[in-house]
Structure 1
Amino acid sequence: MPMVNMKPLLRHAMDNGYAVAAFNLVDFGTTKAMVEAAEELNAPVICQTSAKTIKYWSHKEIVSWVRTVAEEASVPVVLHLDHCKDIEMIEACAKSGWTSIMIDASEYPFEENLEMSKRVRDIAEKYNVGMEAELGQIMGVEDDMVVDEADSVLTDPEDAKKFCDALDLSAFACAVGTAHGFYKGEPQVDFDRIEAINKLTRTPMALHGGTGLSDETFAKAIARGSAKVNISTNLKHVFVESFIDYHKKNPDDFEPLRVIDAQYQACKNLFSGFIEKFGGKNQGAAFLSSLKEVA
């Protein structure tokens, strides 16, 4: 089926108490694996791209991958641009076929962040795509952007309300104690803050920094309104380690397709595990049925 807009999908997720898994694709193989995993579970999925991945492969290449696998699938698939500060790249993605875009102007003061986000709001409306924006600074490393713990700023719920009221977002990314990359020590996720922000904004929350969180943490965050959960670092490690592990176990096997398949299966198992963990199983058909009811 054609790729879908993220906005109604995340609204359905929040209203029905689950979260859509969002994975940062690496290549065509990981793209195909995440959609196949979603289809086997009858679940929606978000294929995300970082700015550096786009710079490496190109807009045309990436959108062709996702469109190819999405059109063969029976479940909802979103192509989303993750953490982008370049408005020209954001518009290029929306124009090329992405169905969701994200502006990350969180390093700027509130008013400047809001002004930049409004410019991207205009782009989202022009191309009829979903939009995510961020308020507060999430610590860790994401796409070569580094935020030290001392510089991280948790999102104020009242500021979140003003921000979301002005933008009508598909997803709201905010700092609630999670971090990009692997955690050093026990993550201190502020569940009261998640609940307060969601009560005030009624906007599906994007939980960034999903790698390394416990099942209990995921469940509590999703129950409080986190409708999109991002997984990137975990995928990077499985992508590299599965390739290396296969060669260690089979040092004389130089058939590339067998090595690639081992990597593919490892990544697919990772995707399936998170999709099911976030409650996405069988929600693909439920979401599509909800669209028919509205129509």
Structure 2
Amino acid sequence: MPLITSSEMFKNAYKGGYAVGAFNVNNMEIIQGIIEAAKEEKSPLILQVSAGARKYANPIYLRKLVEAAVEDSDLPICLHLDHGEDFEICKACIDNGFTSVMIDGSKHPFEENIRLTKEVVEYAHARGVVVEAELGRLAGVEDAVSVSAKDATYTDPAQAVEFVERTGVDSLAIAIGTSHGAYKFKGEPSLDFERLQEISSRLEGFPLVLHGASSVMPEFVAKCNEFGGELPGAKGVPEDMLRRAASMGVCKINIDTDLRLAMTATIREYLTKNPAEFDPRKYLGPARDAIKGIVSHKIKNVLGSSNTL
């Protein structure tokens, strides 16, 4: 099965009241862990690549690893650019075989965001590629994305309708209280479900996206800290909130921080308990298993996409 776009995935997700997981990938072990979980759970999948991942792993290596994943799994997989900052990076990814790109013009004024998004949409659609855009700004830090709390803004429902109509974009990332990184909330976690409901009602049938949606699972934070990490006060989005969002028109949920924490905690534990070990396979193997475990958990218990193929 070749790489596919997310169009059919999102139609099925919207009808079924579940979300497709969009998991960030940086190396072979992360991809293998994600793929093994999705195969067992019989779930569609979005593998997404950030600007940081492209710099770290080289776009050619990442693309070939994803091609191997497709060949190995025969799963419906969409290859997506996460947070493309300009037309040029979106064009490069489209030309290099990505089936979906995100143009993130949320830092720009509304009209400039529309102009930039429309430019990418026109180029992508002419080549059979779908486009995600963002309206509203998420706080937090992840790879090249850094937004202070004072600069974060929630998505305006009326603007969302106008934005979708004028750009022709295929999905829209909205801001309702999630944020990037491991420190998403200082107090009690809260998402603006009233805003989500209004946006979803105004854009009936249209796929919405949640960024910054890792749960920052306490067990992995605790394990990181136990074995030398320093993550005091890390807090993510409760999983019941994500499940609720998936039933309200959110068809794509991005997960990155949870993968990083699971992998890092596992490696820290192994090296601490086995100080004489220096074979990377000995600690990357368990880390890959940890990735598989957390992705399987997310698919079954949070996204709801298990057994949908």
TM-score range with shorter-chain normalisation? Answer: over 0.9
Residue 213 of structure 1, CA deviation? 1.4
1:195 equivalent among 197, 200, 206: 197
4+ long deviations beyond 6 Å: none
Residue 209 of structure 1, CA deviation? 1.2
| Cα distance in 1, alignment partners of residues 86 and 55 from structure 2 | 12
Residue 266 of structure 1, CA deviation? 0.8
Q: TM-score, normalising length from structure 1?
A: 0.92
Query: What's the counterpart of residue 255 of structure 1?
Result: 279
2:213 equivalent among 210, 213, 217: 210
Query: What's the counterpart of residue 279 of structure 1?
Result: 304
Residue 136 of structure 1, CA deviation? 0.7
Return the letter of the residue paired with 2:194.
Answer: D
- 3-state DSSP of counterpart to 1:23: strand
> Is the contact between residue 118 and residue 167 of structure 2 (CA under 8 Å) also seen in structure 1?
yes
Residue 148 of structure 1, CA deviation? 1.5
Return the letter of the residue paired with 1:238.
Answer: A
Structure 1 unaligned regions, length at least 5:
286-295
Query: What's the counterpart of residue 159 of structure 2?
Result: 159
| Cα distance in 2, alignment partners of residues 83 and 238 from structure 1 | 23
> Is the contact between residue 189 and residue 238 of structure 2 (CA under 8 Å) also seen in structure 1?
no
Q: TM-score, normalising length from structure 2?
A: 0.88
Map Cα deviations across residues 143-178 of structure 1 (whole Å, 9 max, x no partner).
Answer: 232211111111110100011112333321011111
| Cα distance in 1, alignment partners of residues 117 and 202 from structure 2 | 19
1:219 equivalent among 218, 226, 243: 243
Q: How many residues align?
A: 284
Map Cα deviations across residues 180-219 of structure 1 (whole Å, 9 max, x no partner).
Answer: 1122322321001111111112321111111121122012
| Cα distance in 2, alignment partners of residues 242 and 130 from structure 1 | 36
> Is the contact between residue 85 and residue 105 of structure 2 (CA under 8 Å) also seen in structure 1?
yes
- 3-state DSSP of counterpart to 1:187: coil
Q: Percent identity?
A: 36
| Cα distance in 1, alignment partners of residues 258 and 119 from structure 2 | 33
Residue 127 of structure 1, CA deviation? 2.1
> Is the contact between residue 38 and residue 45 of structure 1 (CA under 8 Å) also seen in structure 2?
yes
- 3-state DSSP of counterpart to 2:169: coil
| Cα distance in 2, alignment partners of residues 103 and 220 from structure 1 | 26
Residue 271 of structure 1, CA deviation? 1.0
Residue 63 of structure 1, CA deviation? 0.9
| Cα distance in 1, alignment partners of residues 2 and 72 from structure 2 | 9
| Cα distance in 2, alignment partners of residues 138 and 151 from structure 1 | 8
| Cα distance in 2, alignment partners of residues 265 and 40 from structure 1 | 13
